[in-house]
Structure 1
Amino acid sequence: MSESVNNDKPSVPSAPNESNKKFKLATTKLLKASQKYSAYGILAFAGLHLTSTVILPPISFNVANKAFMVGRSVYQSELGEFFLVYLSFGIHILSGFLLRMFRLYWSYKDSNKLKFPKVSTVSKSGFVLTFLTSMHFLATRVSPTKALGDSSLISLEYMAYCLNVDRIPTSIALVLLTTVFATHAMYGATYYFKIPKPKQYLTIVAAGLATLAASALAKHEPATGWLAEQFELAHSWLPKTLSGSA
């Protein structure tokens, strides 16, 4: 009886599978790079903005307000606003969203089951920060522009006015925005730049600084006369629009 010989050759991955794998790796690499490098623009903006709105107010209102005006001249200039705000934030948010959607799709393709990727601290804080930043932009950029024609009057005087009119909601918004941004930035740096995991007390420090800033701004004598009227128009436009009474 003749001995059977197994002439089967080792299976070789098909060209389409190799192509899909390369596409997956290239896409992931591109989206991660987009998130990483767009963060530089966001950090530049945040450095200018948070210095004047969070760090300096407890020290000196006048110095903080001057720093705010200098920073605003940079990130609200034609090029500054495009690169530091619209482009940086847009790329960062969009690349993060696409990365999560691609991972969900590839997970489904590999296992034929819909498995949602694990939501990390940096992702959770990113979702919350996107919402808070959008509301902040509406309140301090869109609302004044719609009500007054532009946002040139928006300064720390306006923040002080808002804190005097709606102290608790405005204080909570300032503390939340600062704390969530600090959390997202620290954990993002850990992920992309391989620095040690941040200590929890750093988040508490960020919240404490924002609380001190809110307290200092609330103590500043609010604007009166014509300026107060303009601030009221800017401050009330968004709630009136959302309620349909504008």
Structure 2
Amino acid sequence: MKVDFLSVLCRSSDMERQVCFLLLLLAALNSASAGREERYQAAGGTLVMAPPYSGPITNILWKHNGNLVVQWLSSGLEYYGRFKDRTTLDTTTANLEITGMKEADSGLYTVEINFVAQDQEYDVKVIKNVSKPGVKPRPLTCTSDSESCVLVCNGDTTGAEPVTYSWRKGDGGWITEGKIMTIKNDEETRRFETFSCQMKNPVSEKESDPYKNPFSEKQDGSSVGLVV
């Protein structure tokens, strides 16, 4: 949408002016988020940020939440604060590498090249790898005589969010569902010998050991407890 069109619209009727201001607000929001990359990073891993810049570079300044990370000038290269000894700046490309990422390293990373703030920004969220889950039944004792049971994909998600859950019946494919899956004692369910669950976040994924289906035609009818 051209600026001259918006200018004309803003000088029109009250309704058109309201539309104009809304469009200007949306344009401002889009401009503010342009070039901002949301990135998840595994705790303890290495973060690499490569701003899209071509041409000769004479100076570089990286910031984290407005605080200095590293600065390169003709006078030399200097790293700051907790980023010392685990940060490497490529002065020919402005690429930045930070090892041993921690939760405190989450936040917005910005870069200035040749004293000009670049549009490319990195909104980094440092999260833990998911733990190995286990399938836990409800009630805790689920037998072949039960009408139905609830299976819970149980695992520690502290510091690992966002987490998604998937389930597998027997040797089938993974189906994304919630943390809880209800199984019924019917002919369809009895076809499967086991159930497995998987926890996944943007940096990792792990699956449980197979949980024996208490309703399977191949089970002996005894109670089935937690498999971890």
Identify, as 1 or 2, the structure richer in helix: 1
**Fold shared, TM-score > 0.5 on shorter chain:** no
What TM-score, normalized to structure 1?
0.21
